[in-house]
């Protein structure tokens, strides 16, 4: 009389579709997520040079060494960080035509060498002081030559100032400095 109700088939979930959806969500997440990029010092590297490097007179090199105790040695003499900017400016410009300082601003080279145990903070402080010395020299030259701020100069005039006083900072290999 009464027939037994027909058994219903159990519902199944298609796992391959779920895997596709999970994969798409993963791809979407990877594409839309921003990744913090490490920040550093922006430096324009020189072009690759074929052959031996040119000989540079010792008087044109302003050597700055930072030892493991974060102490500065500038051209072989101990210097405080507060004196570094003024000493760098004097070296680059050489207003008194001292035979121990750079021949001309466009021939001055600043060389930084640090110990492998130098703190990053000290290295950045030294680099900032040297960069600030160049910024001040560019500002002074812009005022002298064009009677206006370096920041307000046209691109060509800025390049002219920077050609007269080029920023040349050489970084030596990290070593173990004794003092």
For residue range 134-158, what is the model confidence (pLDDT) as tens digits?
999 999 999 999 999 999 999 999 9
For residue range 60-119, what is the model confidence (pLDDT) as tens digits?
999 999 999 999 999 999 999 999 999 999 999 999 999 999 999 999 999 999 999 999
Total domains in the fold of the chain: 1
Tell me the helices (H) and strands (E) count for the chain, helix number first.
Answer: 4, 5
| Confidence bin at 177 (pLDDT 50/70/90) | low
pLDDT for residue 6 is more than 80: no
| Confidence bin at 130 (pLDDT 50/70/90) | very high
CA-CA distance, 68 to 2, in Å (whole number)?
A: 96
pLDDT for residue 1 is more than 60: no
pTM summary value: 0.74
The DSSP result for 79-137, as a single string, is E-HHHHHHHHHHHHH-TT--TTS-SSGGG-EEEEEEBTT--HHHHHHHHHHHHHHHHHH
Structural domain contains residue 152: yes
Q: What phi and psi values does residue 86 have, to the nearest 5 degrees?
A: -65, -40
Per-residue confidence (pLDDT) for residue 4, from 0 to 100? 63
| CA-angle at 177, arms to 44 and 62, nearest 5° | 45
CA-CA distance, 163 to 48, in Å (whole number)?
A: 20
Structural domain contains residue 28: no
Are 89 and 135 spatial neighbours (Cβ–Cβ below 8 Å)? no
Structural domain contains residue 25: no
Residues facing 73 on adjacent strands = 65, 78
Structural domain contains residue 19: no
Structural domain contains residue 45: no
Structural domain contains residue 114: yes
Structural domain contains residue 87: yes
Please give the average per-residue pLDDT across 117-127, as a whole number: 94
Structural domain contains residue 119: yes
| Confidence bin at 33 (pLDDT 50/70/90) | confident
**pLDDT exceeding 70 applies to what percent of the chain?**
92
What residues make up the domain containing 153? 58-170
């Amino acid at each position: 009389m009464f027939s037994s109700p027909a058994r219903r088939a159990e519902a199944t979930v298609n796992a391959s579709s779920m895997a596709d959806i999970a994969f798409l969500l993963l791809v979407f997440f990877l594409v839309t997520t921003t990744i913090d990029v490490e920040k550093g010092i922006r430096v324009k590297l020189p072009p690759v040079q074929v052959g031996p490097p040119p000989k540079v007179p010792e008087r044109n090199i302003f050597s700055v060494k930072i030892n493991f105790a974060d102490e500065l040695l500038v051209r072989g003499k101990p210097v405080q960080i507060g004196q570094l900017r003024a000493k760098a400016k004097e070296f680059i410009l050489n207003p008194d035509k001292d035979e121990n300082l750079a021949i001309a601003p466009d021939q001055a080279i600043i060389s930084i060498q640090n110990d492998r145990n130098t703190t990053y903070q000290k290295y950045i402080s030294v680099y900032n002081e040297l960069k600030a010395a160049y910024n001040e020299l560019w500002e002074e030259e812009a005022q002298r030559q064009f009677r206006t701020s370096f920041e307000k100069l046209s691109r060509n005039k800025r390049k002219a100032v920077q050609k007269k006083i080029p920023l040349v900072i050489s970084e030596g290999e990290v070593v173990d400095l004794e003092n």
